[in-house]
Amino acid sequence: MTAPANQLRATPPAGHALNVEKIRAEFPILHQQVHGKPLVYLDNAATSQKPRDVIDAISRYYERDNANIHRGVHALSERATEAYEAARCAAQNFLGAALPSEIIFVRGTTEAINLVAQTFGRTRVGAGDEVIVTTMEHHSNIVPWQMLCGEKGAKLRVAPISDRGELDLEEFQKLLGPKTRLVALTHVSNALGTINPIREIVRMAHDRNVPVLVDGAQAVPHLKVDVRDLGCDFYAFSGHKVYGPTGIGVLYGKSDLLAAMPPYQGGGDMISSVTFEKTTYNKVPFKFEAGTPDVAGAIGLGAAFAYVNGLGIEKIGAHEHALLAHATEAVSAIPGVRLIGTAPQKAGVLSFLIDDIHPHDIGTILDQEGIAIRTGHHCSEPVMHRFGIPATARASFALYNTFQEVDALVRGIAKVREVFA
């Protein structure tokens, strides 16, 4: 867990230093020039780069073990099935889930949330009921609930955030009521970097018997997540933000909830028997994994968990926090810079504006310097509306970033100001 901002430190505490030089050697993509400059990749909240271990695990699978799973009696199918189910156990351990069957492989956070909305949501939410989200949600944690509420005649309630980008817990508490059927909120905001106090929010919701879904897309790369310690009912994340491949992600759900939920999609592997008169469904988690899954993706994700575990998520978080502290101090000292998202508890993300320069121009000029950041509304338009801005420039950090790269960003911002002077 990161330290509060008033304890921000620009170097990780003793014993927490990562060997970043060695780590960088394990990421082939980082060693290239962009527009004649060394690549400085600071768009990790959009997707992180992949270590050699992950790339090799996927290649090895296709070179040696590729087969369909849960279906064949031949050796390759057995090996592929074993590797896929081992990845499920790795995900279980990564999240601290009680059982492997509480882990459902999905395409990513977006699919995980849609799955819950279309199964749990459709059976539990009715006319006049309410679903609570927050102002700082990614569109993936707004639109599926809007669709559900529209279909059912239910109401979407929105917990507000402060000028620093913190959730207003008093207002959140007031929204919880007898009609609330679910709270769905992000663990870490992708646009602001705010870390939400999930344990406390879960306690408040559970006091009223309201289940909680947590969007963990921006949390798992930076924080130790233990779903049983958090107490949440669902937890969703994408593999590609935590050094795994694209196209694979995880939905964690408490086993009693998953068992009671209807399937999401129909097809192969999610059934135990089919006749034209009646189909009976497979047990959890297979009930939710219709069709041939992304076997290679799951195996790659398993390799990503091993990679992160090998380094230690606490060390990773401490390193990134030191980078964020250094970047926050250096960037906010530049005249004309306004930071968007200044909560005391933050992870991984620095969103900013420079004078009245459009963020897309900032991004384009930085790209010419070899620096990759994201600009725009970050699929979080309500956050932009809250701050009365159309977009931000966002630098986001990962375990392989260096203090020199932060300094390159600071020089790049100075260049942007020169261009627009």
Catalytic residues: 379
The residue number whose beta carbon is nearest to ligand C6P equals 190
Of the candidates 92, 114, 218, 282, which one interacts with ligand C6P according to CB under 6 A? 218
Q: How far is Cα 165 from Cα 161, in angstroms, rounded to an integer?
A: 5
Is residue 55 near ligand C6P by the rule CB under 6 A? no
Among residues 119 and 141, whose Cβ is nearest to ligand C6P?
141
- The gap from C-alpha 152 to its chain's centroid, in whole angstroms, comes to 28
Among residues 77 and 146, whose Cβ is nearest to ligand C6P?
146
Is residue 215 near ligand C6P by the rule CB under 6 A? yes
Among residues 326 and 374, whose Cβ is nearest to ligand C6P?
374
Among residues 135 and 186, whose Cβ is nearest to ligand C6P?
186
Helix (H) or strand (E) holding 399: none
Stretch that binds ligand C6P, among 107-115, 169-177, 196-204, 283-291 (CB under 6 A): 107-115
Is residue 44 near ligand C6P by the rule CB under 6 A? no
Q: Residue 16 CB, nearest distance to ligand C6P (Å)?
A: 26
Q: Residue 106 CB, nearest distance to ligand C6P (Å)?
A: 9
Is residue 108 near ligand C6P by the rule CB under 6 A? yes
Location of structure tokens 């930071």: 339
Of the candidates 48, 81, 109, 328, which one interacts with ligand C6P according to CB under 6 A? 109
Give the closest residue to 248 by CA, choosing from 260, 256, 239, 237. Answer: 239
Among residues 181 and 241, whose Cβ is nearest to ligand C6P?
241
In 22-169, which ranges are E strands?
A: 33-34, 37-38, 40-41, 103-106, 130-134, 155-159
Q: How far is Cα 305 from Cα 54, in angstroms, rounded to an integer?
A: 9
Pattern 377-396, ligand C6P, x by CB under 6 A: -xx-----------------
HSE at residue 287, side-chain half, CA atoms within 13 A, is: 20
Q: Residue 17 CB, nearest distance to ligand C6P (Å)?
A: 28
Sign of the CA dihedral 389, 393, 399, 404? negative
Residue 308 contacts residue 241 (beta carbons within 8 Å) = no
Is residue 140 near ligand C6P by the rule CB under 6 A? yes
Q: How far is Cα 316 from Cα 221, in angstroms, rounded to an integer?
A: 8
Stretch that binds ligand C6P, among 60-68, 154-162, 215-223, 268-276 (CB under 6 A): 215-223
Residues 267-306 that bind ligand C6P (CB under 6 A): none
Is residue 48 near ligand C6P by the rule CB under 6 A? no
Sheet holding 180-186, edge to edge: 103-106, 249-253, 234-238, 212-215, 180-186, 130-134, 155-159
β 40-41/371-372 pair status: parallel
Q: How far is Cα 175 from Cα 179, in angstroms, rounded to an integer?
A: 10
**How does DSSP assign 191-257, residue by residue?**
TT-BBP-HHHHHHHHHTTT--EEEE-TTTTTTS---HHHHT-SEEEEEGGGGTS-TT-EEEEE-HHH
Is residue 138 near ligand C6P by the rule CB under 6 A? yes
Is residue 214 near ligand C6P by the rule CB under 6 A? no
Pattern 340-379, ligand C6P, x by CB under 6 A: ----------------------------------x---xx
Is residue 152 near ligand C6P by the rule CB under 6 A? no
Residue 191 contacts residue 380 (beta carbons within 8 Å) = yes
Location of structure tokens 């790795």: 90
Is residue 157 near ligand C6P by the rule CB under 6 A? no
Pattern 245-274, ligand C6P, x by CB under 6 A: ------------------------------
- Site residues for ligand C6P per CB under 6 A: 45-46, 108-110, 138, 140-141, 186, 190, 215, 217-218, 238, 374, 378-379
